[in-house]
């Protein structure tokens, strides 16, 4: 287990990218120092640690920064392979499938629901809702294949793809609370609906994911400063 002094995480409490890294560290039982960042006025440590993009999360291990959430999760799994459960599947085919669907979740699903929050018109919002539900439909099929009839994408326990999709669930709750949009409906995606409930009850999620009101409050703050910015930019 890492000592807190040798492992730091720069993050934003409501960022799905940060949440997945924190869940990975929680899953592994690794101690670390968490340092919250203000993405409106990015501080010196963030600028120094990630000078190209100045984005969170950044994991600083023994003074060396690792950037990009998916790379960090894989780094954690590899460096602390002997600690806690494996995050990525052991089977090469299953590992490749998990990485492919994780990329899909970040490139298709995440921009779609971000678009719902940032839409300028009702027509644009309706279009983004359709895009979101289409992506959920694809992940419903992926869950059926990856889970092999078990409770999680990874099977019997939480794994890589669970963390990637699960890190976005906070914002699904926020969408329902703010706009009345239900992202995962039992009638449309029964497998995912059951998974959402199961995942939310895990210690991995309970110990890391903030209350939905925290996300709503942050989005309200973003909307008041929306000129020249996007939700995606201010979540990472």
- pLDDT single digits (tens) 52-85: 889 999 999 999 999 999 999 999 999 999 999 9
The CA-atom distances, in angstroms, between 22 and each of 19, 47, 115, 131 are 5, 21, 25, 28
Instruction: Give me the pLDDT at residue 232, please.
Output: 60
Closest CA to 11 of 70, 55, 51, 71: 55
Domains in the chain with CATH codes: 4-79 (3.40.30.10), 92-223 (1.20.1050.10)
Average of per-residue pLDDT values in the chain: 94
d(CA 134, CA 140): 10
Exposed e or buried b per residue across 118-140, where buried means at least 16 C-beta atoms within 10 angstroms of its C-beta: bbeeeeebeebbebbbebbeebb
d(CA 6, CA 4): 5
d(CA 180, CA 173): 9
Closest CA to 8 of 52, 46, 38: 46
The pLDDT confidence band at residue 235, using thresholds 50, 70 and 90, is confident
Task: Region of 151 please: left (phi>0), alpha (psi -120 to 50) or beta.
Answer: alpha
Q: Which of 30-34, 105-109, 181-185, 221-225 has the lowest mean pLDDT?
A: 221-225
Instruction: Give me the pLDDT at residue 146, please.
Output: 97
């Amino acid at each position: 287990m890492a000592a807190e002094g040798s492992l730091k995480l720069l993050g934003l409490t409501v960022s799905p990218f940060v949440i997945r890294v924190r869940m990975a560290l929680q899953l592994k039982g690794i101690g670390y120092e968490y340092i919250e960042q203000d993405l409106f006025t990015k501080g010196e440590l963030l600028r120094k640690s990630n000078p190209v993009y100045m984005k969170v999360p950044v994991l600083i291990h023994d003074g060396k920064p690792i950037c990009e959430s998916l790379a960090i999760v894989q780094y954690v799994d590899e460096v602390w392979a002997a600690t806690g459960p494996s995050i990525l599947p052991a089977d090469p085919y299953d590992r490749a499938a998990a990485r492919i669907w994780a990329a899909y979740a970040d490139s298709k699903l995440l921009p779609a629901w971000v678009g719902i929050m940032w839409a300028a018109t009702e027509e644009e919002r309706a279009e983004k809702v359709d895009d979101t539900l289409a992506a959920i439909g694809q992940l419903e099929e992926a869950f059926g294949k990856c889970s092999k009839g078990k409770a999680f994408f990874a099977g019997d326990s939480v794994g890589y793809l669970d963390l990637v999709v699960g890190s976005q669930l906070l914002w699904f709750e926020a969408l329902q609370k703010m706009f009345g949009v239900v992202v995962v409906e039992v009638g449309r995606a029964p497998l995912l609906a059951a998974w959402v409930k199961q995942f939310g009850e895990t210690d991995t999620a309970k110990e890391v994911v903030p209350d939905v009101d925290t996300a709503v409050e942050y989005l309200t703050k973003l909307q008041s400063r929306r000129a020249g910015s996007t939700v995606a930019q201010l979540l990472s």
